[in-house]
Amino acid sequence: MSFCNHCLPLLMGFALLSGCERPNSAAPAKPATPARVVITVAPVEKALLDRTLPVVGTLFAKDEANVAAQVQGVVQKTAVEFGDRVVEGQEIAQIDTETYAALARQAEAEQAVNRAASVNAERELVRQLELERSGVASPSAIDAARAAADSARGALASSEAAQQVAALNLAHSHVRAPFDGAVADRIASRGDFMTPGKPMFRIVNDAVLKYIVQAPEAYAGQVVRDQEVVFTVDAFPGQPFTGRVFLISPQINTGTRAFAFGALVPNADRKLKANTFARGELILERNVPQTVIPVEAPIALSGVSRVFVIENDIAKPVTVKLGRIYGTRQVVLEGLKPGQKVATSGQSRLAEGRQVEIRASSASRAQPESRPK
């Protein structure tokens, strides 16, 4: 009995040890294969697009003039207000016109008097010369006649010049529009005292506008006369306006490293207003073959643009250099070739060598199957 009591704990311990050391018959699990990423793709294509240069600038009136007084006096009347349309030569104000008309009449009268005196002096000189041939006239009388004739000629010439000045002053007292256009500002009012050079009106020719913009110096050799410029303004969103390059600055601004050029913009209907801000583009070349991809294909990481090229259902990241966006497509300058396929969705879940499952885009599914006609 004592033997059994001693053996029982040993048997129980052996049983416990046997249970703890039982070998694990299950085999180690293999790592799970990553699930394929479901994406949509689009082909890299060639498209005929215009090569353009984006520009921003201001529309200025082709001609603009500050019409100033040319004579001194009180403004008797103004005939136009700002916004009024004028034609070249139209009277828009009068400055002391009655006074200058009187001075012109006085100058004409003095001219008539001096003309008559000159005629009489010439006749007297002729008479004295005839008497000299007869031996009757004295040399002193002839000299006096010559001097009187010369003095009369000088007085007549002076009065003619004075009459011309008076006539010009009278004409200048009628202030006239220098060209066809519109009154942008009326500065002078009736009763104002004007002196020569003092502004009275500002007139602009808005039938033709100048679209003045800046271009980077790298484009100095590509901007030429008669190139087309297309632009829009906030007043008419979505409506394009066009002009043609006609002015090109001969120098580069050292501060901005850019140069100015201007396009003439026809504005016969006066739809556009001078000093309007406009955004547009200069057409450098028409229908240039360019590589394009959908705008949703490229992604940016740390300032670097890349796309995922899909080959044999395997994703491969490719760094690209991008150009301008045209609607839903973006130009690729470097990194891709036409015919390759790029991912247009699911890029955030892609990595080098990741397997993908390509599904049709919603746009592709929505398109009916084309049938030959």
Q: Is the pLDDT of residue 127 over 80?
A: yes
Torsion of Cα atoms, 88 then 93 then 95 then 98, to 10°: 90
Q: How many CB atoms lie within 10 A of CB 242?
A: 14
Contact 67, 203 (CB under 8 A): yes
Residue 6 lies in a domain: no
Q: Which of 159, 186, 213 is the last residue of a domain?
A: 186
3-state secondary structure of 156: helix
Query: What confidence tens digit (pLDDT) does each residue in 294-320 have?
Result: 999 999 988 899 999 999 999 999 999
Band (29; pLDDT cuts 50, 70, 90): low
Dihedral sign from CA coordinates of 33, 36, 37, 43: positive
- Rounded to the nearest integer, the mean pLDDT of the chain is 87
Burial class (CB in 10 A: 0-12, 13-18, 19+), 37: buried
User: Could you say which DSSP state residue 230 is in?
Assistant: E
- The Cα 281–Cα 370 span in angstroms is 37
Residue 7 within any structural domain of the chain: no
Considering the domain boundaries, does residue 14 fall inside one? Answer: no
> Is 223 in the same domain as 270?
yes
Cα separation, 195 vs 201, whole angstroms = 14
Q: What is the mean pLDDT of the segment spanning 273-292?
A: 94
Q: Is position 4 within any domain?
A: no
- Number of domains within the chain: 3
Q: Under the phi-then-psi rule, with left for phi > 0, alpha for psi from -120 to 50, and beta for the rest, what region is 28?
A: beta
Q: Is the pTM of this model over 0.85?
A: no
Full domain range(s) for residue 174: 70-186
Q: Are residues 276 and 338 in the same domain?
A: no
Percent of the chain with pLDDT over 70: 88
Residue 224 pLDDT greater than 90, yes or no:
yes
Residue 142 sits in the same domain as residue 249: no
Q: What is the pLDDT of residue 15?
A: 44
